[in-house]
Amino acid sequence: MVVRGDGALVSAEFARRRPIETILSGPAASLVGARYLTGLDRAIVSDIGGTTTDIAVLENGQPRIDPQGASVGGHRTMVEAVAMRTFGLGGDSEVTIEEGGLSGRIVLGPRRLVPLSLAAHLHGGQIVEALQKQETRPVPSRLNGRFACLSGMPARHATGLSKSEAALYARLGPEPVALDALILSSAQLAPLDRLVARGLVSLIGFTPSDAAHVLGRQMGWDAGAARLGAVLFARRRDGAGQQLATDAEAFCERVMARLARRSAEAVLETALCEDGLDGAALAGHELMRRALDGEQSVTRLRVSLDRPVIGLGASAPLHYAGLGALLRGDCVLPEDADVANAIGAVVGRVGVRSEAHIGQPQEGVYRVQVAEELRDFPDEEEALAFAESVLTRDLHDRARQAGADQAELHVTRDIRAVDVDGSRRFLEARVVAQASGRPRMTLNHD
């Protein structure tokens, strides 16, 4: 079985015939898994990974489907799939300091970096040695704690490089090189960024995963390298000339708090968009900031959601521990949040959907458009009954082809009519049929 973009299961043969329908199947499976793990029918599901956070809405136990179709590369595909908003926010998001700001505000993402702790774990002591050397310098540099290496993409993809890009590319190899040794002038930063954007070069630097290692909330990689990176950041100064933090731990607490805050803003932005508002503009508004921070002044502002948030991802218990308090609601963290995607694929149901349209091209004529058929009827109920019979026959066949065993069929009517001078006038109608069932099981005997 294969997961489709709306969270339903279909047979592998069905997916081969209509592969486009598997767009966004991964996030859709996570939503199905979230519903199974929590039993919640109405929730906002936030799945945080290393690179991105994917947020979608559960309504009536089903992922909300984007009526305009999945968006890929900025283009609408007109393929039904889960309505998902993706943010460049994760455990491996790049940590930087806001340029030109007085407060030294921490900025996360949207670019992903290889964490210092992971790089030191993979490449031995050369990362730690370079960090120790940078720590002894009296004046901190914004290039401190940064390294670059080739990503492993085959060299044949490094075509069409500019002279400056080719020069940097030639100086890099599989082993990390400190940026303060690689970059000879600020003019080389732009070519390096272009190499990273093309996937030819990987950047290594401080991330929330490193902050978690320093604070002892995450283990497995080199916490010593992470701490050195935090020390280098803490020594830097804001626009007012003050150190960013008193020590490594204080800086890491700021990073973790910033990730929780950005996660709350992303959830809130998604909720506002669901209400038909400009979520991106409103979530960053000063009034919304005051509401999230709970500032007490002449005007008291509060913001909350009408449903709980379900946190998914291996790092969800780490990063979402304070999310409920920020949003003044419940944040549910399932025990098996790290494998919700796989669970969703296992417990999903086969589902197919079809609809018919009934219009009235002239008084007394009810025209039914369903499947490949177009027929006229003199009676409204007769037209509706015909549409339902064709949909039922068609869906039973499609559900069987999709791999369903004993599919259940649900048919709904959406009739639009108006009252004119006490007389009912039919406008149009939609008949929607949905078939769902568990996949057929087979037992193979050797």
Distance between the two ends of the chain, CA-based, in angstroms?
21
Which residues does residue 437 pair with via DSSP β-bridges, in sequence order? 350
Least Cα distance to 238 among 101, 358, 370 occurs for: 101
The CA distance from 46 to 55, in Å, is 4
Sequence-distant (6+) residues with CB within 8 A of 114 are 92, 202, 203, 204, 205
Decide if pLDDT at 108 tops 80. yes
Q: What's the confidence (pLDDT) of residue 442?
A: 56
The CA distance from 92 to 111, in Å, is 9
pLDDT in tens, 276-319: 898 889 988 888 888 888 877 788 888 889 999 999 999 999 99
Mean pLDDT check: name the lowest of 55-64, 68-77, 409-418.
Answer: 68-77
pLDDT in tens, 166-209: 999 999 999 999 999 999 888 999 999 999 999 999 999 999 99
Domains along the chain with CATH numbers: 2-91+260-346 (3.30.420.40), 93-256 (no CATH), 351-437 (no CATH)
For residue 96, name the pLDDT band (cuts at 50, 70, 90). Answer: very high
Question: What SS3 state is found at 339?
Answer: helix
Q: What's the confidence (pLDDT) of residue 371?
A: 80
pLDDT over 70, % of the chain: 98
Decide if pLDDT at 71 tops 80. no
Question: What SS3 state is found at 114?
Answer: strand
Decide if pLDDT at 443 tops 60. no
∠ Cα 151 157 159 (to 5°): 120
Largest distance between two CA atoms of the chain = 90
Decide if pLDDT at 215 tops 80. yes
Q: What's the confidence (pLDDT) of residue 441?
A: 67
Q: What's the confidence (pLDDT) of residue 38?
A: 95
State pTM to two decimals.
0.82
pLDDT in tens, 130-178: 999 999 998 888 899 999 999 999 989 999 999 999 999 999 999 999 9
